């Protein structure tokens, strides 16, 4: 490598460090059966106990004995990897059964598996652009990076509407020729701001303008709705949304992504999306574990009730202590810090002095000046853990001379 090329890498890193948002990964070892407890590997190689407060394993399903045993059984029965792309020997009964289960979960005709939620958004949205050369896409400004990337690669005419702003969405829809194919892409739960989309109202608008709807339920699936179908199910709107996309890595605690929708559309995505076609399919053990997890989560509404109760309790505790908890109508509990370096300092102090792991959320994940700590209580974060967290936060706020509301 030429010295001037190496310099480009170093300068990029120096800039990130200068802004105080250089990412340092905590090296943790989750402990099977003890979620949310884990061990942190220190610089000297020793390990210390920590409690994880920022996991997206929202229901602790990654530690469920049934899910682990399904994974284990599949690996013992059929081996470690799938051995190919879906088209070339990589489709197993686990994949097929999981797709059927996911279609049912969202009340859709078909489902298609991908290797992650990121890939499902990127591959599907970019393929829409191939299938509809004159497509117009209307995208919420807070959509996830995977949707933005897929939309960018769709090479469609793109309009970005202000977050959850229905009037703005409508005014942009009016710019499109009435006969043009249109797609509204949005999320159900916006995981950094902890708010939800007005799905019913967006479907009303979509119907009025003849637009298709594409909903990312990554942070809603498993957690809302009687059967865990997500916010769309909770709001009675699931049947009105054309495409529902989700992940197997958060509420279901495993790995992988998917999109559900009408059979003909899913068949077309299956046939045209390079991100689906040209990659090895999920390991059968992952598909088996995810299948078990989806079945369990669908059948256990009490997990969702408990999660909601835990999140409400934590929000109330933060508010009562005068901590800057951001408004949240979901299971996600963000605390506003508003400065990248400070956010990292609070996170480091919590981790090294109190054994509490909550990752700083900085730009580009959130806008500069809105840096925050994002807490994700699960059904397994009990009252004692919450009290310890609160005590630690109050101590850190005092140590760093940060303001608390009266
Ligand atoms: N969509 C949203 C809204 C997300 O927040 C994420 C990841 O956090 C993804 C998609 C990607 O999902 P996965 O982690 O399964 O790749």
30-56 residue pLDDT tens: 999 999 999 999 999 999 999 999 999
Phi, psi of 234 (to 5 degrees): -55, -40
Phi, psi of 26 (to 5 degrees): -75, 130
Instruction: Report the b/e string of 112-138 with b at 16+ CB within 10 A.
Output: bbbbbbbbbbbbbbbbbbbebeebbbb
| Cα 33 to averaged position of ligand 1 atoms, centre (Å) | 25
**Greater model confidence, 93 or 23:** 93
Indicate if the alpha-carbon torsion angle 232, 329, 254, 363 is positive or negative.
positive
CA terminus-to-terminus distance, the chain: 57
Q: 375: part of which helix (H) or strand (E)?
A: strand 372-375
| Cα 353 to averaged position of ligand 1 atoms, centre (Å) | 31
276 band by pLDDT with thresholds 50, 70 and 90 = very high
pLDDT recorded at residue 321 = 97
Reading the block at residue 76, the tokens are 């013992």
Of 384, 382, 366, 356, nearest to 55 (Cα)?
Answer: 356
Q: What's the mean pLDDT in 275-289?
A: 98
Q: pLDDT (tens digit, 9 = 90+) per residue, 155-195? A: 999 999 999 999 999 999 999 999 999 999 999 999 999 99
Can you point out the beta strands (E) in 162-313?
Answer: 182-187, 189-190, 195-196, 212-216, 243-247, 257-261
**Ligand 1 cavity residues, CB under 6 Å:** 116-118, 121, 144, 146, 187, 191, 216, 218-219, 247, 249, 257
Which residue from 118, 121, 124 has its CB within 8 A of the most atoms of ligand 1, so it is best to mutate?
118
- Cα separation, 266 vs 109, whole angstroms: 9
- Cα separation, 400 vs 275, whole angstroms: 47
Q: Whose CA is nearest to atom 13 of ligand 1?
A: 117
- Name the percent of the chain in helix, strand, coil, to the closest 5: 45, 15, 40
- Cα separation, 203 vs 186, whole angstroms: 11
Pick the catalytic residue from 108, 182, 250, 315. 250
pLDDT recorded at residue 406 = 77
**247 Cα nearest atom in ligand 1:** 15
Q: Whose CA is nearest to atom 12 of ligand 1?
A: 117
Q: Evaluate if residue 380 carries a pLDDT over 90.
A: yes
Phi, psi of 130 (to 5 degrees): -70, -40
Residue 250 falls in the annotated catalytic set: yes
pLDDT recorded at residue 131 = 97
Q: 310: part of which helix (H) or strand (E)?
A: helix 301-320
């Amino acid at each position: 490598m030429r010295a001037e090329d190496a310099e480009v890498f170093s300068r990029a890193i120096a800039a990130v460090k200068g802004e105080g948002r250089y990412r340092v990964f905590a090296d943790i070892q989750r402990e099977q059966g003890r979620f949310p407890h884990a061990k942190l590997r220190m610089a000297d190689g020793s390990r210390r106990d920590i409690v994880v407060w920022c996991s997206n394993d929202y229901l602790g399903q990654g530690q469920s004995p049934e899910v682990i045993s399904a994974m284990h059984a599949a690996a013992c029965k059929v081996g470690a990897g799938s051995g190919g792309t879906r088209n070339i020997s990589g489709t197993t009964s686990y994949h097929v059964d999981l797709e059927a289960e996911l279609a049912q979960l969202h009340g859709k005709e078909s489902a298609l598996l991908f290797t992650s939620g990121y890939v499902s958004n990127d591959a599907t949205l970019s393929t829409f652009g191939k299938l509809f050369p004159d497509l117009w896409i209307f995208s919420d400004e807070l959509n996830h990076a995977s949707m933005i990337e897929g939309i960018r690669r769709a090479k469609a005419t793109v309009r970005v509407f202000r977050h959850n702003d229905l009037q703005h969405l409508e005014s942009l829809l009016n710019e499109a020729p009435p006969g043009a194919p249109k797609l509204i892409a949005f999320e159900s739960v916006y995981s950094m701001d902890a708010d939800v989309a007005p799905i019913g109202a967006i479907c009303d608008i979509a119907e009025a303008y003849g637009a298709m709807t594409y909903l990312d339920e990554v942070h809603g699936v498993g957690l809302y709705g009687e059967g865990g179908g997500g916010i769309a199910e909770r709001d009675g709107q699931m049947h009105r949304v054309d495409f529902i996309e989700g992940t197997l890595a958060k509420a279901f605690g495993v790995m992988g992504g998917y999109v559900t929708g009408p059979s003909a559309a899913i068949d077309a995505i299956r046939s045209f999306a390079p991100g689906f076609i040209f990659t090895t399919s999920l390991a059968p053990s992952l598909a088996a574990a995810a299948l078990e997890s989806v079945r369990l989560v669908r059948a256990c509404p009490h997990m969702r009730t408990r999660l909601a109760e835990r999140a409400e309790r934590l929000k109330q505790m933060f508010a009562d202590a005068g901590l800057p908890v951001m408004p949240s109508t979901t299971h996600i509990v963000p605390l506003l810090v508003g400065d990248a370096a400070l956010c990292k300092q609070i996170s480091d102090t919590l981790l090294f002095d109190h054994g509490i792991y909550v990752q700083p959320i900085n730009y580009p994940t959130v806008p500069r000046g809105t840096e925050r700590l994002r807490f994700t209580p699960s059904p397994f974060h009990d009252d004692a853990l919450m009290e310890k967290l609160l005590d630690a936060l109050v101590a850190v706020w005092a140590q760093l001379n940060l303001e608390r509301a009266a």
